[in-house]
Structure 1
Amino acid sequence: MLTIIDKYILKRYLVTFTVMLLMFIPIGIVIDVSEKVNKMIENHVAFSAIAKYYLDFTIYFANLLFPIFLFLSVIWFTSKLANNTEIIAVLSSGISFTRFMRPYIIGATIVSLFALVMSIFLVPNASAGFKNFRYTYLIGNGISEMRDNTDVFRQTSKDEYIFVSNFQEVSKMAFHFSMEKFENDKLKYKVTADRIKWNPKDSTYTLFNYTKRKIGPFGDIIQSMEKKDTVFNFELEDLTPVVYIAETLNLADLNKFIEKEKSRGSTNINVYLVVLYKKYSIPVSAFILTIIAVAVSSMKRRGGMGVNLAIGILLAFSFVFLDKIFGVLAEKSTAPPLLAVWTPNIVFGILAIYLLRNAKR
């Protein structure tokens, strides 16, 4: 059962965190508007599209930066408690430091559950809207940069491989297409075409300058046609997903997508795994950063709240720096994505234990 002190600290925890979000997000929006307004005017972007973009912007960046906001808010109000000697009064009444931490842990649980729900249900749609708007209106040649359009090689099934030299999103057409079918590790047939076009109305493909070479034990059989309509078990868009596709999928769809990409031999699989693992690692960071923040700011310092905030900002940005470094390391190298994503939590978890022991003393 929560005591009066628990309710007091928990209320300060949640209110300060909320106020911190409400203060900094509008600042971020103002800065973004000042940087992007010329592009929006040049591209004649509708007001409704801009409003939707900034709603997505708010959700996207609130999720991305919530560890910093949480950490700074805990530093802020705990430092005020320490400066007002409220913490000394609580501990002098016989309450242990571990018991004093209980409302903080409850607050961290509420925030982490909220962050987890957001990352699973709200953030994917917000990420899709945010990224689509940026690539459509704000980035030069953005639409052409949304996909890996050149030299696309994919494994579409256990024994089928395709290659296209270039893919055009607007026309749903790819060039220099080839498809190889294997059976018992031996080439069964190969299909080539100068162009392949996706027909969404009937889910078929049109191949231009079509050639099929069937490998036989006594000779090859070659079939050529100027134009051929056929059906394949893939869609051109599946072969060249947008570069940020993983961020736009909910948890169930993301797991399915990763399994499908693994079967296709995707070279971007680590990028998708990083997005998946961060859905769980970021909420856990709420507990670690809360413990560090309380341990750092619970002591009354000669420099006052400013010293605690300086330490807090340094530690918060160190956490974000580590998170970004190991995220890129997992995406661009052979480092295990799971270990890379969780390394900042492990490092700061050890730091949290060390600081908490010193704070208890």
Structure 2
Amino acid sequence: MKIIDWYIIKKYLGTFVFTIGIFTVIMVIFDVSERLDDFIKHDAPLSKIIFEYYAGFIPFYLNYLSPLINFIAVIFFTAKMADQTEIVPILSGGFSFNRFLWPYFIASFVIFLITLIFNLFIIPQTNRLLVDFTNTYIDPKANNSKMYTHLQLNKNSYVYIENFDNNQKVGYRFTLETFKGDSLVQKIMADRILWDSVKNNWKLENYSVRKIDGLKESMKSENSKVMNLDMKPVDFELYDNLFKAMSMKELNTRIKKEKIRGSGEMDALLLEKYRRFIYPFSAFILTLMGVSLSSKKVRGGIGLPLGVGILMS
């Protein structure tokens, strides 16, 4: 690599970081003015606002706006180089335009890697802070109950819960049906089902078991019973932002379960998964667009290409 390559890379990354800083300040100022009433209304502690809400808010929106930030940064420093007649000598010195693009794509590859790492490992963790805070202090749902839920636990087992209260981790009118082929062989019914977060299992109250063996049937009833079932309270969450807070491992596990259960969440799950991989590639596309838009010197300095770039974005 030549000195000019390092010069462009430093310009690119330096402008990108500077633009991130400006966007961060602007976002926080506008968000504080918008959310202040919610913070006061729900008595959100200052420590939680800083170390949970904004610790999740800033990474999430910087990652979300990174293509725009990248695009503006490329246009800004490239238009400035063109305005100062730095690009013409580079191309006149034996660099083709394709060769001139090399350092741009090296820098965009660095941004691609950083964005990909954030998308896969860091953003889900910070999103968890943001989601928990939002659902507690900004948009709490007093009635976090899911009605008439059907789940397929495995090839032969089907669950129905008429009403599940996620605040109390309690379900009502629970039914578990087990099939062998097309024949029902067992049906478990309970008035209530409770989640034990310490033991990670379910407790059935006022339950009965009906077993069917051909023409023979038997029925047994008891007050309570502990069962291990392949489901958790998170499967009954109502919050729309739930998937954003899942790690890749949790997301893949949920997708595998959804393939069996078919509860209608597959599209949202796959969209969230693929978005994390595809989003970083925008660094390369927007870099090429930004250089093409701003590498030619025009009247009016950097204002015209920068204005066109912002208008396009």
Aligned Cα root-mean-square deviation (Å)? 1.9
- Give the TM-score taking structure 2 as reference length: 0.92
Quote the residue 2:235 is aligned against. 239
Residue 11 (structure 2) pairs with residue 12 (structure 1): yes
Higher relative contact order (CA 8 A, sep 6+): 2
Structure 1 segment 219-234 matched on structure 2, within 5 A: 219-225=216-222, 227-234=223-230
The one-letter code matched in structure 2 to 1:165 is: E
Partner of 1:308: 305
Would you say the 8 A contact 2:55–2:129 is kept in 1? Answer: no
Aligned to 2:253: 256
User: The residue matched to 2:224 in structure 1 has which SS?
Assistant: strand
Determine helix, strand or coil for the equivalent of 1:166: strand
One-letter amino acid of the counterpart of residue 127, structure 2: S
Counterpart Cα distance in 2 of 1:307 and 1:202: 64
Q: Structure 2 vs 1, CA of residues 202 and 126 (structure 1 numbering), >3 Å: closer, same or farther? A: closer
Partner of 1:274: 271
- For 1:234, the aligned partner's letter is D
TM-score scaled by structure 1? 0.81
Specify the SS of the correspondent of 1:220: strand
How far 1:184 sits from its partner (Å)?
1.2
Aligned length: 311
Partner Cα distance (2:278, 2:235) in 1? 29
Indicate the residue corresponding to 2:59 in structure 1: 59
Which stretch shifts more, 72-81 or 190-199? 190-199
Per the alignment, residue 32 of structure 2 pairs with 33
Q: Does the 8 Å contact 1:198/1:235 carry over to 2?
A: no
Is the CA contact 1:163–1:178 (under 8 Å) kept in the aligned structure 2?
yes
> How far 1:155 sits from its partner (Å)?
1.0
C-alpha distance in 2 between matches for 1:255 and 1:204:
22
Indicate conservation of the 8 Å contact 2:152/2:260, yes or no: yes
Q: 1:301 corresponds to which letter in structure 2?
A: V
Matches within 5 A, 1:193-212: 193-212=190-209
After TM superposition, give the deviation of residue 221 of structure 1 in Å. 2.4
Q: Percent identity?
A: 34
**Aligned residue runs from structure 1 range 321-360, under 5 A:** none
Alignment match, 2:183: 186
Structure 2: 5+ residue stretches without partners:
none
Q: Could you list the runs of 5+ residues in structure 1 that have no partner in the other structure?
A: 317-361
Q: Quote the residue 1:218 is aligned against.
A: 215
User: Contact conserved, 2:151 with 2:261, CA < 8 A, in 1?
Assistant: yes
Deviation at 1:19, TM superposition (A): 0.5
